[in-house]
């Protein structure tokens, strides 16, 4: 006898984690790099750049993680509010909701006879009816309530890892100018690789993605450097 076991679907979790890593890494590579570049144009001590850079990474990773957590909680709360509203509408105006189900089934290409049978089956169970409306009328999937803390940790860690990459050059060089040179090389290479891989995974042109990511980082760092130079103490 053959026994079938349900196949666990990991697509949503993997997709959410990938998205969180992309958010954390892209900002982590760009923002501390721009900050370090700006400071390199204004100070003569690598120690100051390192101290400010580490402080920014800590603050940035906390802020990004908190943002990810709040976004996840907002999604859960939005789904719960819409679910409650849908249950209320099914109870108060069932004819209207049945007409909406029939319209959705028609859009799927079902015949009138098949729609009538499907409508009868769907609306016989209130929970099933509401789940159908949530998914096909509102386009909402039930969010994982555990995703918010997962997102917070993933985004924070990715931001910290990304931020340490441009800052690492300053630990190994004697002056901020030398540190900026190596930081720019290391960071732009990482941005190119990251942009290439990100574009490959999302189905975008990978070379253009790499250039766009590197260009964004270079533009932010260049602007910060030039602004800092304008206000450099004599």
Q: What is the 3-state secondary structure (H, E, C) of 20-56?
A: HHHHHHHHHHHHHHHHHHHHHCCCCCHHHHHHHHHHH
Instruction: State the average pLDDT over residues 16-32.
Output: 83
Residue 9: its pLDDT value, please? Answer: 45
The reported pLDDT for the residue numbered 196 is 81
Question: What pLDDT score was predicted for residue 233?
Answer: 47
Mean pLDDT of all residues in 17-35: 83
Give the pLDDT confidence score for residue 11 in this predicted structure.
44
Q: What is the pTM of this model?
A: 0.72
The percent of residues above 70 in pLDDT, for the chain, comes to: 90
pLDDT tier, 202 (very low <50, low <70, confident <90, very high otherwise):
low
Average pLDDT, the chain: 80
Average pLDDT, stretch 84-109?
Answer: 82
Mean pLDDT of 187-203: 79
Q: What's the burial of 13, exposed, middle or buried (CB within 10 Å: 0-12/13-18/19+)?
A: middle
Other CB atoms within 10 A of residue 202 CB: 12
pLDDT value for 14: 57
Q: Is the pLDDT of residue 230 over 80?
A: no
pLDDT of residue 12: 46
**61 vs 144, higher pLDDT:** 61
Contact 167, 183 (CB under 8 A): yes
With 80 as the cut, is the pLDDT of residue 162 above it?
Answer: yes
pLDDT value at 6 more than 80: no
The whole-number pLDDT of residue 228 equals 66
Instruction: Check residues 120 and 178 and name the one with the higher pLDDT.
Output: 178
- Percent over 90 (pLDDT), the chain: 12
Between 122 and 58, residue with greater pLDDT: 58
Ranges of each domain in the chain: 14-79+153-227, 84-137
């Amino acid at each position: 006898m053959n026994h079938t076991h349900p196949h666990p679907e990991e697509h949503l979790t993997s997709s959410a984690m990938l998205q969180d890593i992309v958010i954390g890494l892209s900002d982590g590579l760009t923002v501390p790099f721009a900050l370090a570049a700006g400071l390199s144009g204004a100070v003569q001590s690598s120690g100051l750049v390192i101290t400010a850079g580490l402080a920014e990474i800590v603050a940035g990773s906390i802020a990004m993680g908190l943002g990810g957590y709040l976004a996840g909680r907002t999604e859960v709360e939005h789904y719960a509010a819409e679910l409650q509203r849908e249950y209320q509408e099914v109870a108060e105006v069932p004819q209207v909701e049945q007409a909406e189900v029939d319209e959705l089934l028609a859009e799927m290409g079902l015949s009138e006879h098949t729609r009538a049978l499907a409508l009868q089956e769907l609306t016989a169970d209130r929970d099933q009816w509401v789940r159908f409306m949530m998914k096909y009328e509102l386009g909402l999937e039930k969010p994982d309530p555990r995703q918010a803390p997962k997102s917070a940790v993933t985004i924070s860690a990715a931001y910290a890892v990304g931020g340490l990459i441009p800052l690492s050059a300053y630990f190994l060089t004697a002056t901020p100018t030398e540190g900026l040179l190596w930081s720019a090389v290391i960071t732009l290479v990482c941005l190119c690789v990251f942009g290439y891989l990100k574009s490959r995974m999302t189905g975008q042109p990978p070379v253009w993605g790499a250039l766009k990511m590197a260009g964004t980082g270079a533009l932010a760092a260049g602007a910060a450097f030039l602004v800092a130079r304008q206000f450099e103490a004599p």
